[in-house]
Structure formats: C-alpha cells, structure tokens
Amino acid sequence: MEPTVIRVRLNWTADPGFLGLYMADELGYFAEENVVAEFEYGGPNVPHPVQILAGGAADIGFGGLAIIADAVSQGDDFVIFGTRLQEGILGISSLASDPILTASDICGSKIGATPGDIVQLDALLTLNGLEPGCYDMVPVGYDPSPVAEGLVRGQINYMNSHPVILDFMGIDNVAVSYAELGMQMYHDLAFVNRSFLDANRDAMVGFLRAMIKGWEAAFADPDAAIDLMMNKWGGAEIGMDISFQRPVHDAQVPLMTSSLTDEKGLFQMDFDLMASTMWDVLALTGIENLPSAESMIDTSLLDDAFAGCGASLLDC
C-alpha cells in the first residue's frame, strides 16, 4: 500500500522544539507506520500554521490554544489531537534582585511585552482578581536585554529560552511561568484539518505514534537529536549556536512532562481540564463565538496510539 503523505507545518525555524520529529524521521518511525511526513518551517515573517492549514497548504500544524480556537470561531474546522507542552510556554522574567514572584507583583511595574502578549497577560490578572492593564507596558522584541539592563522590572518570556539567554549573559534572573501564577494552559498543540483526519485516521494515529516515539528517543539521546537539528535540518545553516541548544532542550523537558505524562505518556491531554479551566481562560481573551471544547478536541487518537502500551511507546 502506498504511504500516506502528511504535510506538517512547523511554527518556527529549526528548533529544539522539533527534536522528536527529527528523530522519528531519522530512526524510521514514520516509515514503520507507512507515513511520509513532509516538514515545512515557519519563521518570524511567515504566516502562522492556522493560516497555512486554512488555505489547504498543510495538513497538520502546531500552535497555541487561543489562536487555534479563534480560527475555529471564524469558520475553520480544526481538530486538536495532542499537546507537546503540558505547561504553557509563557512566563515573566525578572532580576533576582527585584523579582516578580506573584501576579500582584505585575501591577504597578514596567512590563516588557509585545502587543500580542497583552490579551493573555490581562487574562492572567483577571484570573487573580486583579485589574487588567494595571502595569506600565513597555514595547519590546524577543531580546530579553530590557530585563538585564533594568529598563523593565519584568518581561514576558518563553520559559524554554529567555531564562537560558539571561543565564548565558551572566544575569541572575528569576523566571515564573503563567501556570505558576495561576493560569494553566497547554501550548504547542497539534491540530489537523478535520477533512484530512476523517479521510486518513489510521495514518494520523500512526503519525502520532511515530512522533511520540521520536520524542522519547530525543529524551534518551538529546545530543544526537541536536546534532540532527544542526547538521541535517538546517540549524547550522541559519547560524544557530550549538552551545545554546542543549540548555534550551533541558528547559523544555519539564514543560513537556507532568503527572499526566508520567501516567499516560507524552502529548496527553486532560479533556476535563481543557473544557473547564482552559476554556475559562479562552473566554477571557475575548474570542467571539467561542466553539465548545467538545467540537475541537479529540483524545481518541492518543488512546489508539498508546493502545496496549504503558506510558512509553518505545518500551511497548
């Protein structure tokens, strides 16, 4: 039987966040499932995967829950079938000498952020019974130098990278995730066009099984996975500093694991948690015509991928 081609749209350039995909390809896990996974990178000036999938140029993408839900509210028909990060990637970095440790510390402080950060930051404050916009927003880019230079008290960060950059700069810093501040959200969710899923469900289960095995292999041998990223998948070509990549990977591991993954395996989702707590957060972000969790989430692919196995597919 001819293999099923699955076009996968990634949400950034070569990155440790894709190590499991690299390993699944290299170790033949996709081929074992009779799947050909074709990867296309995103980047800072490339449309988000929700737009690419909506236009029919890809079948699977990865993204945040809010942007996927917003796309569905506007008519796209996406199905979420797993989550890479059990803890949301967003947080706040600050200096150890003047740390932001609680949501109330945000109020009255200069906070470095992009315009796109404000909706979720205000939702975080609302969940904590605080006034949205109670801070002085300072526009910043990706670089965490504003924190290092004391231009802001705190800066919205990516928990798997900004603290690592500050550490490399020799800055004594504190990073607190939104989850630690009371707003638990999954991130880097895997989603698919419903029409593709309906037509290729067995191949989708195979893709998911292969990808998870690839991530387990990356956890077991991160240096080999990083070498693939650098020398086969373009990391060296775009000038990535290899000395920075292992700490970034090490920082993402706790974000990918939880008591749920310990019990059931990587990429698992707690539907009840999503349909209650996480959907309450989505409602605070102002999405009109917010779709129901039931209409967007399908955990049965994970059930089928792990059928007859424990929490590890490599050991099955």
pLDDT digits (tens, 9 = 90+) for 108-159: 999 999 988 999 999 999 999 999 999 999 999 889 999 999 999 999 999 9
For the chain, state the CA radius of gyration.
Answer: 19
CA–CA dist 222, 119 (Å, integer): 35
Strand order of the β-sheet with 35-40 is 35-40, 4-9, 60-63, 187-193, 78-85
Q: Is the separation of the CB atoms in 284 and 69 below 8 Å?
A: no
Written as tens digits, the pLDDT of the chain (316 aa) is 899 999 999 988 999 999 999 999 999 999 999 999 999 998 888 899 999 999 999 999 999 999 999 999 999 999 999 999 999 999 999 999 999 999 999 999 999 999 889 999 999 999 999 999 999 999 998 899 999 999 999 999 999 999 999 999 999 999 999 999 999 999 999 999 999 999 999 999 999 999 999 999 999 999 999 999 999 999 999 999 999 999 999 999 999 999 999 999 999 999 999 999 999 999 999 899 999 999 999 999 999 999 999 999 999 9
Half-sphere CA count of 201, side-chain side, radius 13 A: 10
**This model's pTM is above 0.75:** yes
294: nearest Cα among 72, 59, 54, 9? 72
CA–CA dist 187, 201 (Å, integer): 23
Burial 138-174 (b: 16+ CB within 10 A, else e): bebeeebbbbbeeebbbbbbbbbbbbbbbeeeebebb
Residue span(s) of the chain under CATH 3.40.190.10 come to: 4-87+186-305, 90-177
The total number of residues written for the chain in this structure = 316
Residue 1: how many other CB atoms lie within 10 Å: 4
Q: What is the CATH number of domain 4-87+186-305?
A: 3.40.190.10
Task: Compute CA 119 distance to the chain's CA centroid, rounded to the nearest angstrom.
Answer: 18
Domain 90-177 has CATH 3.40.190.10: yes
